[in-house]
Amino acid sequence: MTKKFDPVENCEITRKEIGYISLQEATFQIYRDLGFKCGLEIHQQLKTAKKLFCRCPAGIYQEKDEYDAEIVRHMRPTLSELGEYDGTALMEFKTGKNIFYHIKNETACTYEVDDTPPFLINREALEQAIEISLLLQTNIVGELHITRKQYLDGSIPTGFQRTAIVGIEGKIPLQKKKVGIIQLSIEEDACREVSDIGHNRVYTT
């Protein structure tokens, strides 16, 4: 007779086989023996007058019940160039989420709802990003290429985030060491989540 699968027992067996160490048991020497390295991804919102890819004012946030219009969207997977569906996009689609965007006229435009191509990148934001890159002693890129990073949770109406690498291979002096900076990027911000209940997820743009 086949033994019934016990997830708790399976977890304990797996931990034993891989030599699992709890956080309470971990010591500095254990991390050193492992050759453990940890990186940080730090986000900082820039203080600019306008948004990154449109001319709407930045830094103005409405209350969750203050909006002039509501847009409803649904995540739909599309075939890639290879004729395949992205597994993550397909999984998100199967959740059947209704994505609601609360729009305020003074802070959003047709770009925000993916009905207008992006404007030229905000020069004020770009200059701030370059200044920060120089302070971090990065190598500034020769050309700025705007790329698109797929977002599947609905937090950006277009379904992807526009982002660009500004500087690479920088460093921050720390005591007698230098902390390496792999890259500095500039990107548009995601929407603010208001609620996520059942099949309905609500954002403010």
CA 158 – CA 193 distance, rounded (Å): 16
Q: How confident is the model at residue 73 (pLDDT cuts 50, 70, 90)?
A: confident
CA 52 – CA 29 distance, rounded (Å): 45
pLDDT attached to residue 88: 76
Whether the full predicted model's pTM is greater than 0.75, yes or no, is no
Provide, rounded to the nearest whole percent, the portion of the chain with pLDDT above 70: 99
Residue 192, number of CB atoms within 10 A of its CB: 14
Nearest to 182 by CA among 34, 38, 31, 35: 38
Mean pLDDT, range 149-163, rounded to an integer = 84
The answer to whether 181 and 173 have CB atoms below 8 angstroms apart is no
**pLDDT tens-digit readout, 29-61:** 888 888 888 888 999 999 999 999 999 998 777
